[in-house]
């Protein structure tokens, strides 16, 4: 049994697809990969935040973790803004509904 080496970009794409679809076995079948391999990629991504391994050098490792944290923080801020906009839209729609059809 030979081990196949997949590029990190491909792994990231498969993990993203698994998150979007929600069915790991289906994604694995679509790409012709063992579902156990995909499960391990998804678990690794959950634990490390990424498929790409960290560098062995402490300084490089620190920079990579810092960059990943900044990326996640930026994404978190964007999601918070999006959620606030949606909550505002809902509040406006509820007020509009109540003013047109008072109970």
Structure tokens that stand for 34 in this block: 């063992």
Q: Is 92 helix (H, G, I), strand (E, B) or coil?
A: helix
Give phi and psi for 86, each to the nearest 5: -65, -40
Q: Is the pTM of this model over 0.75?
A: no
Buried b (16+ CB within 10 A) or exposed e, 51-69: beeeeeeeeeeeebeeeee
Contact 34, 28 (CB under 8 A): yes
Mean pLDDT for each 10-residue chunk of the chain (103 residues)?
76 88 88 89 79 70 86 95 96 90 68
Residue 55: per-residue pLDDT: 60
Residue 50: per-residue pLDDT: 65
Residue 62: per-residue pLDDT: 83
* CA dihedral sign of residues 78, 80, 81, 85: positive
Interatomic CA distance for residues 85 and 81, integer angstroms: 6
């Amino acid at each position: 049994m030979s081990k196949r080496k997949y590029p990190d970009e491909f792994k990231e794409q498969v993990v993203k697809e698994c998150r979007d679809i929600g069915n790991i076995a289906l994604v694995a079948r679509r790409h012709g990969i063992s579902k156990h391999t995909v499960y391990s990629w998804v678990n690794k991504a959950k634990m490390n935040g990424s498929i790409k391994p960290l560098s062995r050098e402490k300084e490089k490792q620190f920079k990579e973790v810092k960059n990943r944290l900044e990326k996640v923080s930026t994404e978190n801020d964007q999601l918070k803004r999006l959620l606030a906009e949606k909550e505002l839209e809902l509040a406006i729609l509820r007020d509009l509904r109540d003013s047109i059809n008072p109970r």
